[in-house]
Amino acid sequence: MTADLATVERALRGAAPHALLDALATALAPCGVFDVRLLMADYGLTVLQPVTSLPRTAQPLAVHAGAPGRAFGAQLPYAEPLADPPPGRAEGTATLLHLPVSVRGDRLGVLSLALDADRLTEELREELAEVAEMLGHQIVVAERDTDLYLQARRKDRLTLAAEMQWQLLPARACSRAEYAIGAQLEPAYAIHGDNFDWSATGDRLTLTITNGMGEGIEASLLTNLAISALRNARRAGVDLADQAALADQAVYGQYRGRAYVSVLLLEFHLDTGAVEIVDAGSPELLRLRDGLVERIPFEAQLPLGLADDTPYVAQRIQVLAGDRLIFVSDGVHAVAGAADESRGERALARAIRASRMLPAAEVPRKVLSELARRQDQAPADDALVVCLDWFGRSAGAAGAEGGDGANGLPHRAPGMSD
């Protein structure tokens, strides 16, 4: 018997936000599924945390360890024999199927289903993978009305500033035929000023990389004001330079130059790869193209809020299919080796080289962990890495039919020079 996807979808849509797993278990019982568990990736992308009622007693799993870690890392289903079958079931008669739970490229966690081994056909496996995707979308909706899944994402308590920052973010990853984005903030549970944002239409992608000055709640409040002002301007339909100017007025009006925000604003034309950029004291941009890495310099303009009525001018670059863009904040350079700028640049290049075969969603975490390992120190300041893989519209269309681009991988894996 296969899964009735329409019935499953109705069950999930009709369930109370905190009861998605109970509804899923009932809907999948006719398929031989007798146990349903959900593991959520934590904010630091270090563990998969079981979703249970409070107080939590289930132990988290290392994010890349074991069968659930394989499913999460590869973003593919992974089956294993159920090691400890419930009473009444003979050993070897049940299978544990782990399915990635993702929403448009954002990896939320893993759905683990225990079911009768003789029921698991290839057709049912594919249908259950669709069920996991349905669950991901319902979790995103449910998070408006329950804290259950957000609580399961944290292995430690967030600082108040970090809580504000994570709630401000769009997601940790996003993918379409033309591009794939991945981002990570560290220290994940104590971040305060760095942030990122994106929004897409049928023909444009707007990406914002932000570094608010200061520490703690003050830095988070400053960044929140800047991001909200930029969104307000973007949603009003003004061009990129005017978005920066309006946000600059909002920040200056509140702080009168006592505090400011460094921002890199980018607008990608999805049909041509043309990019408009406003550099307002921005984080750094590196481009990987044909195996080489180079820093892309821009004409520096004043950070948002530093002076009254600052005019901003958009600059332009061109991205090509296969390009990988890496955005890093100043905290990343501090980890890479601030005492020696050239050594820090080489360390960053090596860290990016180590991640060159990974999809965009995994690159930021890999770069940050590689830098911390090489320098034997974790970020003391905010450290932000954003990776954007550009496939282009024509190449992306090919990827959507089954090529690497559909999975968020570069069409040709970029290398890296030191």
- The pLDDT, as a whole number, for residue 405 is 39
Least confident residue range of 145-149, 269-273, 404-408: 404-408
Torsion of CA 348, 353, 354, 357, to 10 degrees: 140
Say if residue 145's pLDDT is above 70.
Answer: yes
Ramachandran area for residue 105 (φ above 0: left; ψ -120 to 50: alpha; else beta): left
Least confident residue range of 76-85, 98-107, 238-247, 258-267: 76-85
* DSSP state at residue 147: S
Least confident residue range of 68-82, 151-165, 195-209, 331-345: 331-345
9 vs 13: CA distance, rounded Å: 6
Structure tokens at 20: 């998605």
Confidence of residue 59 (pLDDT cuts 50, 70, 90): confident
169 vs 362: CA distance, rounded Å: 17
Say if residue 403's pLDDT is above 80.
Answer: no
- The pLDDT, as a whole number, for residue 362 is 95
- The pLDDT, as a whole number, for residue 119 is 92
- The pLDDT, as a whole number, for residue 352 is 86
Least confident residue range of 109-123, 205-219, 331-345: 331-345
**Cβ atoms of 28 and 99 closer than 8 Å:** no
The stretch 267-277 carries a mean pLDDT of: 97
Interior CA angle at 11 toward 8 and 12, to 5°?
90
- The pLDDT, as a whole number, for residue 372 is 81
For residue 236, count CB atoms less than 10 angstroms from its CB and return exposed for 0-12, middle for 13-18, buried for 19 or more: exposed
Say if residue 88's pLDDT is above 90.
Answer: no
Residue whose pair of structure tokens reads 């904040």 in the numeric block: 329
- The pLDDT, as a whole number, for residue 414 is 39
Least confident residue range of 228-232, 237-241, 353-357: 353-357
Alpha helices for 209-315 (secondary structure H): 216-235, 240-255
Q: How many alpha carbons fall within 13 Å on the CB side of residue 214? A: 16
* Percent above pLDDT 90 for the chain: 73
Whose CA is closest to 32, among 65, 66, 3, 11?
A: 3
For the chain, the 3-state helix, strand and coil shares in percent, each to the nearest 5, are 35, 25, 35
Say if residue 409's pLDDT is above 50.
Answer: no
Confidence of residue 332 (pLDDT cuts 50, 70, 90): confident
When comparing pLDDT for 62 and 92, which is higher?
62
Computed over every residue of the chain, the mean pLDDT equals 89
Least confident residue range of 228-242, 272-286, 366-380: 366-380
332 vs 326: CA distance, rounded Å: 12
- The pLDDT, as a whole number, for residue 413 is 36
How many of the other CB atoms lie within 10 Å of CB of 320? 12
Structure tokens at 414: 């970029």
Confidence of residue 410 (pLDDT cuts 50, 70, 90): very low
When comparing pLDDT for 136 and 379, which is higher?
136
Q: What is the pTM of this model?
A: 0.89
Confidence of residue 94 (pLDDT cuts 50, 70, 90): very high
Structure tokens at 405: 């681009």
Structure tokens at 257: 């130059």
Q: Which residues are within 8 A (CB) of 25 and not within 5 positions of it... i.e. 6 or more apart?
A: 33, 35, 36
Confidence of residue 350 (pLDDT cuts 50, 70, 90): confident
381 vs 384: CA distance, rounded Å: 10
- The pLDDT, as a whole number, for residue 377 is 58
394 vs 271: CA distance, rounded Å: 8
- The pLDDT, as a whole number, for residue 344 is 75
**Cβ atoms of 127 and 115 closer than 8 Å:** no
Confidence of residue 416 (pLDDT cuts 50, 70, 90): very low
Whole-angstrom CA distances from 87 to 18, 79, 84, 94, 97 are: 28, 21, 9, 12, 19
3-state DSSP of 180-210: EEEEEEECCCCCCCEEEEEEECCCEEEEEEE
